Structure 1
Amino acid sequence: MLEPKMLSQVVALVLEAGALICAELQRAGGPRGTGDKADVDLEIELMLRHGLAQLYGGDFVGEETGRNLTGQAFCWVVDPNDGTADFLAGRQGSAVSVGLLHRGEPILGVVYAPVTPSGPDCIAWQKGMRALLRNGQSVNPPRQPNGLHNSVVFVSSAASSRRAENDALCAPAICEPMPSIAYRLARAAVGDGAAGVSLYPVSPHDVVAGHALLLAAGGDLFDQDGKRIRYTKLAGFCSPVEQCFGGDNLACLNLVARPWKDLLLK
């Protein structure tokens, strides 16, 4: 079992990482980096890798510094700045994502978007807690008995240029484009919408933290075939993930059945 104070210590590290993202955005000339690589991503991951190892030993999987897998029961899974390309393009909503697996089960997740249109947003949980924490306050997410009705589906920022087509695929919900898949899943977990979607392949570092939050809220994460996504002890997917749908279970299975590939082929 994790100590109750573990989550607060992880959150403190993640908030420190978020401060680095904010500072990078305020640099003269803007953030360093091009394409989908930002200099601050590596700096953040090195800080998190060291800090998390000090908190609780275990294996490590990171987007920037790679894997250290020795077969231990616990494994930290980190994306220092999920949504880097959008971050470098000046779009708000990239997120720090820190998850912890125990023998392949997500047991802790912290997702922090330091810059959003509504202000900083940190969503966190560890196994044993009865509620999620959002910016330090307990949140009991409302269930979505109506599935997609009167709700929102969080999709990638690329959907902004094809809003009508994405709305049609999400109907009767509407789509809300935003950068980070980690943050999309976190927002679905706290009940801001029915689901978060990625139409492109993801890696464990993209989704483990958000997946932990979804499980805590009674939801789950599904692949393109409607199969529940699960992880091996070595922090890999049990089967390839080309697309993912996370949130309310019925809403996700409804979305999986829709012709998303038609959108990608156009």
Structure 2
Amino acid sequence: MLQTGIVYRVADLVIEAGALILAELRRPGGPRGSGYKAEVDLEIEVVLRRGLEQILSCDFVGEETGRHQTGHRYCWVVDPNDGTADFLAGRSGSAVSVGLLDEGEPVLGVVYAPGTPRGSDCIAWQQGMNALFRNGRVIAPSKQNRDLKGSVVFVSSAAASKRAENDILCAPATCEPIPSIAYRLARVAAGDGAAGVSLYPVSPHDVVAGHALLKAVGGDISDQNGKPIRYTASAEFIDPVEQCFGGQVDACRTLLARPWINLLEPNRS
């Protein structure tokens, strides 16, 4: 059984590591790196890996520092800076994502976006808790996130260039572009919207933490075929994932029926 309250220690560590994102955004000349690789990503993951191993010594899968797997029942799954390309372009909203799997089942998630239009935002949960906590406070998510009407669907930042088309696909909700899929899922779990969508391939380190948060409020994540996303004990997807739709099941089922492929052809956005 996972130690009670471990998520608070993880959240403190994630917030500490996330400060490096803000420092890098404020760096004269902008963040270091190019394409999909920022130098600070590795620096953050080194801090996280060291700290997480002290909190719970188990297997580890990180985007930057690779895998350490021994067959332990627990496995940390880490993305130090989800949304790197947008981060390098100077856009705020990337997030640190730390999830924990127990024999392939998400049992803890912490997602921290240090720089967003609404300020820093940390959303966390672990198995056994009755509610999420956000920025140090327990929250009771609104039931509004179970329905698209009057709500929001969080989509990638690329949607900003095709806002009208995305709004049609999300109707009767509106779309809101956010760089990080981890943070999109976390915002949905916290009751800010109906669903989070990625039209591009994701990896377990992108979604495990957000998946844990959604579980806490009765949500789930499906792939492009509407099949629930699941993981092996070694932190791999059981089935390939080209797209993902996370939130309450009914909202995601409605969105899955929409022609999202229209956004990707002939030019990917």
The corresponding residue for 2:115 is 115
SS at match of 1:193: coil
Give 1:117 deviation, angstroms. 0.3
Measured against aligned partners, the alpha-carbon deviations of 1:141-199 in whole angstroms (never above 9, x if no partner) come to 12247621100000000000000110111011110011000000000001100000000
Secondary structure of 1:236's match? coil
Asked if 1 retains the 8 angstrom alpha-carbon contact of 2:95 and 2:113, the reply is yes
Could you tell me which residue of structure 2 aligns to residue 256 of structure 1? 256
Residues 1:54 and 2:66 aligned together:
no
Deviation at 1:207, TM superposition (A): 0.2
Q: Supply the AA of the counterpart residue of 1:76.
A: W
Change in 2 beyond 3 A, CA 1:258/1:40: same
Residue of structure 2 equivalent to 1:234: 234
Q: Residue 130 of structure 2 aligns with which residue?
A: 130
Contact 2:232 2:238 in 1 (8 A): yes
Q: Distance in 1 between matches of 2:206 and 2:94?
A: 12
Q: Give the SS at the match of 2:143.
A: coil
| Counterpart residue type for residue 34 of structure 1 | S
Q: Check the 8 A contact 2:145/2:191 in 1, yes or no.
A: no
Q: Aligned with 2:98: secondary structure?
A: strand
- 2:74 matched to 1:67? no
Normalising by structure 1, what TM-score? 0.98
Secondary structure of 1:240's match? coil
8 Å contact 1:223–1:242 — kept in the other structure? Answer: yes
Q: Quick one: structure 1 residues 104 and 61, their matched pair in 2 at CA, closer, same or farther if it must change by over 3 Å? A: same
SS state at 1:238 partner:
coil
CA root-mean-square deviation? 1.0
* 1:1-266 → structure 2 map (5 Å cutoff): 1-144=1-144, 147-266=147-266
Contact 1:144 1:248 in 2 (8 A): no
CA 1:146–1:112 in structure 2 vs 1: closer, same or farther (change >3 Å)?
A: closer
User: 1:6-59: per-residue Cα shift (whole Å, max 9, x none)?
Assistant: 111101110111111111112111111111110000000011111101110111
Deviation of the 1:118 alpha carbon: 0.7
In structure 1, distance between residues paired with 2:103 and 2:144: 30
Supply the distance in 2 between the matched residues of 1:208 and 1:5 (Cα, whole angstroms): 19
Identical-pair percentage = 71
Q: Deviations for 1:83-121, whole angstroms, at most 9, x for unmatched residues?
A: 001011111100000000000000000000000001000
Aligned 8 A contact 1:61 1:77 in 2 = yes
- Separation in 1 of the partners of 2:17 and 2:82? 12
Structure 1, unaligned runs of 5 or more: none
SS at match of 1:133: strand
1:48 aligned partner, one-letter code: L
TM-score by length of 2: 0.97
1:146–1:238: structure 2 CA closer, same or farther, 3 Å change rule? closer
CA distance in 1, matches of 2:9, 2:262: 44
Aligned length: 266
Runs of 4+ in 1 over 6 A off after TM superposition: none
Note the C-alpha offset of 1:248. Answer: 1.3
Q: Distance in 1 between matches of 2:55 and 2:78?
A: 15
**Which has the higher mean CA deviation after the structures are superposed, 174-183 or 62-71?**
62-71
Amino acid at match of 1:196: G
* Contact in 2 for aligned 1:169/1:258 (Cα 8 Å): yes
CA contact (8 A) 1:21 1:40 kept: yes
8 Å contact from structure 2 (residues 145, 193) kept in 1: no
Unaligned stretches of 5+ residues in structure 2: none
